[in-house]
Structure 1
Amino acid sequence: MTVSYYPGASRAYDYSGRYNGSLIKPNCGVIHTTEGTSLPSYGNGAEAPNITAKPNFASRRLDFYQHYPFNRSARALVNLAGGVETNTLNAIQIELVGTCDPTHKNSWNGAKAGQDYIYWPDAPDWALDGLAAFLAWQYNNNGIALSGPKTWLAYPSSYGATAARMSFSAWNNFKGWCGHSHVPENQHGDPGDLDFAKLISMAKTKAKVPGDSGGSGSSGGGSGSGTTYTVESGDTLSAIGARLGVQWQDIAKANGINAPYTIKPGQKLKIPGKTTAPKPVPPFPGASYFGPGKNNSHITLLGNQLVKKGFGRHYASGPGPKWTDADRQNLADFQRSRNELRGDPDGIPGPLTWRLLFS
């Protein structure tokens, strides 16, 4: 099930009432740059991505504006008739306010890079950190792989029919994150030579990808250190409490946080009592292991956990390795019970459903 909205993103420029888009189950993402210094109008939504990240230099963070839910196609790619599907091919699209044009590497019409706008190939760590947090959230909630093309050409060499531009078949089978410069049927060269390796390394650290230490890059937070915790973009008190084994109400009380219980990225929180390591969660095998006609040990594991959690009322004789409608109904009941799983419960596990079920 797709988690459709990024926590904390503004809905002030939500165009979903104007352009509904096609229903998608996202499995990849496209990174754009706006080639401007302010939030675009996007033709009142006619050319909008799912979400835009705008640098907030005063607070050294990215402010997010969501235009379409992540289970609906966006409109920021060229999609020619008779060719390959682009906008509607399960791609989440994010625009980064700023530029990839080296003409504006240092200044732009009197504005200064790094102070008034971002030249994204040289993005400051705090900006990459905010983008990495978004990619990590998409990995943990919607299963978008933290991987992508190795080649990110500098603009303007990235424009047009380059060696980095995917073929139709490569695009149809692509999973992970790429740039506008990689998408077929398109000529645009953004986001240029974004430091993708560093970005993905930072995102893996934030997402706590099993078996990956994260490598280079400053994660800038999201770690419990003794009795303190640094808030990441997208964090909530309940999520932090679940991660550290502490009641969120106790965290709020220890830090003098009252209703509406808001926290900000970079904020240092005192963690009361003894923190515990997160409970081990078995690796999510992928949604392809579940559904009609499937028969495997992952289904048995899922069923046993549903029963353990008190969501086994549809089983006539208990769970087993063969997928049944009782598995779907029980999992849908669990999905309805969790506020984190917004949207229609589909009875098929995704990464977030799996993590919540086994935590």
Structure 2
Amino acid sequence: MSTGPQRYPGASTAYWYQNRFGGDLQEVNVVVLHTTEGTSLPSYGGGGSAPNLTLVPDFKAKRLKAYQHFDFDRSSRALVNLRGGVETNTLNVAQVELVGTCDPKTHAKWKKAGYAYVYWPEAPEWALQGVADLLVWAHKNHGVPLTGPKTWKAYPASYGSGNGVRMSFAQWNSYKGVCGHQHVPENLHGDPGALDFARILELAKGETPQPAHPTYEPYPGASFFMKGSRPALGKSSPVFTAMGKRLVAEGCGLYKVGPGPVLGQADVDSYEKFQRMLGFTGSDAKWPPGPTSWAKLKVPKV
């Protein structure tokens, strides 16, 4: 049984193997990701070990070009499928090969040789987006869940039956979603290595991660805080204005007219309130700031 569109939009069928290897009809609910460990579209032995799709990097256009070899709901041939064991290729699985490598040794060799390739553990954003686009299509048209294992183990530790992430037969039989070759039972391969699957899911779900907090450098002369000395009341510095604004933002500002560049008692009282909010007590909550609380206040460089 199969439903939904069978051809991925824009995919080339120049290397179509379904006429030679008919495969089984299936209702796909799993996508398995592989890496080819090469720099170009493989021949797959004339289709004898081909996946449903291969995604080939186009470095000039900064996109992945898709080649489709079998209908989406047709079993392909890229997994080991032993007799008498669990079904792999034919268990509602669509397989996708990513041209490139997950092997750090191969990465080092190709880099030295000056090849153009994708090292998938450090794939550029456009390559991850290309994978995400395919998974979105599979989700919308075939109901493949946009979920997957938390651990995508780095190669070569990901190789072998006892790699710590490979599913049991029971887990595999009940699995729905996206996984790697390294997760499939009856197989030893460790690809696609430490793929940034979390980022692929963010892109697939249209989530833009919140930017990381900027790195705040101490203002010039901040060493007198870090060394524990006590700046005298009345001392003037633009850092006191910046500090006061941050204390107000944290709900600890005890100012009547707002923070300013001259260190006053309101600055000291406000900072000690902030220290208590962080859980410091007694002398630990007293002025001046220590490195831990100063870092938590995130006073910008001035």
Measured after TM superposition, the shift of residue 112 of structure 1 is 3.6
Measured after TM superposition, the shift of residue 56 of structure 1 is 0.2
Deviation digits for residues 192-241 of structure 1, max 9, x if unmatched? Answer: 00001111111111xxxxxxxx24399xxxxxxxxxxxxxxxxxxxxxxx
Deviation digits for residues 265-308 of structure 1, max 9, x if unmatched? Answer: xxxxxxxxxxxxxxxxxxxxxxxxxxxxxxxxxxxxxxxxxxxx
Measured after TM superposition, the shift of residue 109 of structure 1 is 7.2
Aligned residues: 208
| Counterpart position of 2:209 | 216
| Counterpart position of 1:126 | 126
TM-score, length basis structure 2: 0.67
Deviation >4 Å, runs of 4+: none
| Counterpart position of 2:182 | 181
Q: Which amino acid aligns with 1:21?
A: G
For 2:108 and 2:151, locate their aligned partners in 1 and report how far apart those are by CA, in whole Å.
Answer: 24
Identical positions, percent: 58
For 1:132 and 1:82, locate their aligned partners in 2 and report how far apart those are by CA, in whole Å.
Answer: 35
Q: Which structure: larger Rg?
A: 2
Measured after TM superposition, the shift of residue 189 of structure 1 is 0.1
For 1:49 and 1:105, locate their aligned partners in 2 and report how far apart those are by CA, in whole Å.
Answer: 23
- Structure 2 gaps of 5+ residues are 212-302
User: Is 1:52–1:94's contact at 8 Å kept on the other side of the alignment?
Assistant: yes
- Structure 1 gaps of 5+ residues are 206-213, 219-359
For 1:183 and 1:61, locate their aligned partners in 2 and report how far apart those are by CA, in whole Å.
Answer: 28
Measured after TM superposition, the shift of residue 134 of structure 1 is 0.7
For 2:181 and 2:42, locate their aligned partners in 1 and report how far apart those are by CA, in whole Å.
Answer: 17
Measured after TM superposition, the shift of residue 3 of structure 1 is 1.8
| Counterpart position of 1:165 | 166
For 1:66 and 1:39, locate their aligned partners in 2 and report how far apart those are by CA, in whole Å.
Answer: 11
For 1:70 and 1:64, locate their aligned partners in 2 and report how far apart those are by CA, in whole Å.
Answer: 13
| Counterpart position of 1:320 | none
For 2:45 and 2:148, locate their aligned partners in 1 and report how far apart those are by CA, in whole Å.
Answer: 30
Q: Which segment is superposed worse, 128-137 or 181-190?
A: 128-137
Deviation digits for residues 4-45 of structure 1, max 9, x if unmatched? Answer: 110100000000110000010000110000000111000111
Q: Which amino acid aligns with 2:56?
A: K
Q: Which amino acid aligns with 1:164?
A: V
- After superposition, residues 4-15 of structure 1 pair within 5 angstroms as 4-15=6-17
Deviation digits for residues 106-143 of structure 1, max 9, x if unmatched? Answer: 44175446xx0000000000111111111111111111
| SS of equivalent to 1:105 | helix
| Counterpart position of 1:135 | 135
Distance 1:188 1:111, change over 3 A: same
TM-score, length basis structure 1: 0.56
| Counterpart position of 1:34 | 36
- After superposition, residues 90-101 of structure 1 pair within 5 angstroms as 90-101=92-103
For 1:215 and 1:64, locate their aligned partners in 2 and report how far apart those are by CA, in whole Å.
Answer: 25
User: Is 1:111–1:117's contact at 8 Å kept on the other side of the alignment?
Assistant: no
| Counterpart position of 2:71 | 69
Q: Which amino acid aligns with 1:158?
A: S
For 1:159 and 1:94, locate their aligned partners in 2 and report how far apart those are by CA, in whole Å.
Answer: 19
The alignment status of 1:148 with 2:148, answered yes or no, reads yes
